[in-house]
């Protein structure tokens, strides 16, 4: 029997479904990455979320970033988590009583009224602020959105450039895997092996209440995360050069490439505000040259991470080393090589995969389901789609866009997916997956 097409029962479009996720994760002032796993505000999540939210409500997208910027520390750092006081302490670990920002972070200028973590995340914020402005310049000007955000964004970049150049070569170092955002990437295995893990009984992992253990970092990883964060806290979150740093200090390609991208955005923001600032653009170009000098590995055909403590590159291929494809001043031959690497056997794009895995498909540590050790993530996919387009790879960018949109919808906006089968892993209804799918639909 033929069933007549009835638009009233047609499945909702991807756009409508993505909007519903963002609506459901909105708290009134910001958006949680996930109602179950991550019930607070996260720094780089909020930047990605604002980029999608601007298509639904430019006002909410501005508010999202304003809420985050309001939690900035006096030294310029933007914390990686801003805690929601109405969420029970045991809903997420580590909670505010672990970070103790308002006491342990007093010397570094942590805010008094809001509880935050003391570490940072990749600086996607100036890029997000610029894109949010472009969605509705009239509203943005009427509210003084950029005029208020600009000094905070500039102070954030200054913090990173001046307080976090731990290697002394001009790039920013991260001092914790949570700062880089790809928490258990095999790139960290070597530097992390120096860190004595905190005893398992000294903390309780709330993530395992919601996520399957096979999709999450191990207990040993967590022991090391806890040790590093507690040591940093106990030093008052002070960044005192290499001597004052703990056992983990890494120059990361994606973190630095996002800073450079945000410097370009800062230059546009300054111009829009009528300032004749040549600083950010010149810095972006200089930083690109430094990134190439310090992190490019010709044999791997991509960027690698630098272990600052050991003074050497880490021989692991993580998706982080592809993200500099975003950079407009990347030498032409490097861009060509990066495209070849993304599409080659280690990442398989357009061959064995439709999405970009977070780690080397041929690497010893590859695991298609365990978090940042292989699964494909949507934020890195979105960044590479932009990079491919920027460097004239339109066909490949279109195919990646299609792969991302299909996997986002089919997985229920999963946090990450198996790079071969797109089977959902981690949380579903995940904020940046919905937001970045929305952005790609526009």
**3's tokens:** 């069933």
* Least distance in angstroms from the C-beta of 270 to ligand 9WN: 28
Tell me whether residue 312 is one of the annotated catalytic residues.
Answer: no
Sign (positive or negative) of CA dihedral 170, 174, 179, 183: positive
Helices (H) and strands (E) in the chain, counts: 17, 11
Question: What single string gives the DSSP state of each residue in 258-311?
Answer: HHHHHHHHHHHHHHHTT----HHHHHHHHHHHHHHHHHEETTTTEE-EEETTTT
DSSP structure class, residue 318: B
CA nearest to 377, candidates 412, 415, 413: 415
Q: Please identify which residue in 19, 21, 30, 38 interacts with ligand 9WN, judged by CB under 6 A.
A: 38
Decide whether 42 or 188 has the Cβ nearer to ligand 9WN: 42
Q: Are 76 and 155 in contact (CB under 8 A)?
A: yes
Q: Does 382 bind ligand 9WN (CB under 6 A)?
A: no
Q: Please identify which residue in 33, 186, 374, 387 interacts with ligand 9WN, judged by CB under 6 A.
A: 33
Burial level of 57, CB count in 10 A (0-12/13-18/19+)? middle
Q: Are 287 and 259 in contact (CB under 8 A)?
A: yes
Catalytically annotated residue among 66, 136, 179, 183: 183
* Least distance in angstroms from the C-beta of 183 to ligand 9WN: 4
Tell me whether residue 272 is one of the annotated catalytic residues.
Answer: no
Catalytically annotated residue among 239, 263, 415, 418: 415
Q: Please identify which residue in 52, 123, 181, 374 interacts with ligand 9WN, judged by CB under 6 A.
A: 181
The b/e string for 314-352 (b: 16+ C-beta within 10 A; e otherwise) is bebbbbbbbbbbbbeebeeebbebbbebbbbebbbbeee
* Least distance in angstroms from the C-beta of 48 to ligand 9WN: 9
Sign (positive or negative) of CA dihedral 358, 363, 368, 369: negative
Decide whether 48 or 150 has the Cβ nearer to ligand 9WN: 48
Binding part of the chain for ligand 9WN, among 42-50, 105-113, 345-353, 434-442 by CB under 6 A, reads: 42-50
Q: Does 183 bind ligand 9WN (CB under 6 A)?
A: yes
Decide whether 101 or 288 has the Cβ nearer to ligand 9WN: 101
64 to 93, contacts with ligand 9WN by CB under 6 A? 80
Binding part of the chain for ligand 9WN, among 38-46, 104-112, 346-354, 386-394 by CB under 6 A, reads: 38-46
Binding part of the chain for ligand 9WN, among 127-135, 175-183, 283-291, 318-326 by CB under 6 A, reads: 175-183
248 to 287, contacts with ligand 9WN by CB under 6 A? none
Q: Please identify which residue in 30, 31, 42, 126 interacts with ligand 9WN, judged by CB under 6 A.
A: 42
* Least distance in angstroms from the C-beta of 182 to ligand 9WN: 6
**63's tokens:** 């508010």
State how far the Cα of 324 lies from the Cα of 387, in Å rounded to an integer. Answer: 8
Sign (positive or negative) of CA dihedral 77, 37, 434, 378: positive
Q: Does 413 bind ligand 9WN (CB under 6 A)?
A: no
Q: Residue with the closest Cβ to ligand 9WN?
A: 33
Cβ count near 112 (within 10 Å): 10
Q: Does 178 bind ligand 9WN (CB under 6 A)?
A: yes
Radius of gyration of the chain (CA): 21
* Least distance in angstroms from the C-beta of 259 to ligand 9WN: 16
Q: Does 45 bind ligand 9WN (CB under 6 A)?
A: yes
Positions marked catalytic: 183, 415
Chain residues binding ligand 9WN by CB under 6 A are: 33, 38, 42, 44-45, 80, 178, 181, 183, 207
């Amino acid at each position: 029997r033929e069933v007549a097409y009835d638009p009233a029962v047609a499945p909702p479009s991807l756009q409508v479904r993505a909007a519903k996720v963002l609506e459901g994760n909105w708290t009134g002032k910001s958006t949680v990455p996930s109602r179950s796993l991550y019930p607070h505000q996260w720094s780089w999540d909020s930047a990605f979320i604002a980029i999608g939210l601007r298509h639904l409500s430019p006002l909410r997208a501005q508010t999202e970033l304003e809420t985050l910027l309001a939690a900035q520390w006096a030294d310029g750092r933007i914390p990686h988590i801003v805690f929601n006081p109405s969420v029970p302490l045991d809903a997420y670990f580590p909670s505010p009583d672990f970070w103790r920002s308002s006491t342990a972070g007093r010397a570094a200028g942590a805010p008094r009224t809001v509880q935050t973590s003391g570490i940072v995340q990749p600086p996607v914020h100036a890029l997000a602020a610029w894109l949010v402005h472009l969605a509705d310049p009239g509203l943005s000007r009427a509210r003084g959105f950029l005029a208020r955000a600009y000094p905070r964004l500039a102070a954030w970049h200054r913090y990173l450039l001046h307080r976090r150049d731990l290697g002394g070569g001009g790039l920013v170092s991260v001092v914790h895997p949570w700062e880089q955002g790809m928490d258990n990437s095999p790139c960290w295995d070597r530097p992390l092996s120096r860190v004595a893990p905190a005893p398992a009984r000294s903390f309780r992992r709330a993530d395992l209440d919601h996520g399957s253990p096979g999709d999450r970092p191990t207990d040993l990883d967590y022991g090391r995360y806890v040790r590093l964060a507690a040591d940093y806290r106990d030093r008052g979150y002070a960044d005192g050069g290499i001597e004052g740093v703990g056992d983990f200090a890494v120059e990361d390609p994606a973190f630095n490439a996002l800073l450079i991208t945000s410097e370009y955005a800062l230059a546009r923001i300054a111009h829009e505000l009528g300032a004749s600032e040549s600083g950010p653009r010149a810095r972006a170009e200089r930083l690109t040259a430094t990134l190439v000098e310090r992190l490019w590995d010709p044999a791997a055909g991509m960027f690698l991470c630098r272990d600052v403590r050991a003074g050497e590159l880490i021989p692991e291929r993580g998706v982080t080393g592809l993200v500099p494809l975003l950079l407009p001043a990347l030498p032409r031959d490097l861009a060509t090589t990066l495209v070849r690497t993304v599409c080659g056997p280690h990442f398989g794009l357009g061959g064995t995969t439709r999405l970009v895995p977070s780690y080397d498909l041929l690497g010893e540590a590859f695991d298609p389901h365990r978090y940042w050790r292989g699964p494909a993530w949507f934020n890195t996919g979105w960044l590479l789609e932009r990079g491919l387009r920027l460097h004239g790879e339109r066909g490949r960018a279109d195919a990646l866009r299609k792969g991302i949109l299909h996997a986002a919808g089919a997985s229920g906006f999963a946090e990450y997916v198996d790079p071969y089968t797109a089977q959902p892993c981690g949380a579903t209804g995940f904020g940046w997956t919905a937001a970045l799918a929305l952005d790609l639909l526009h």
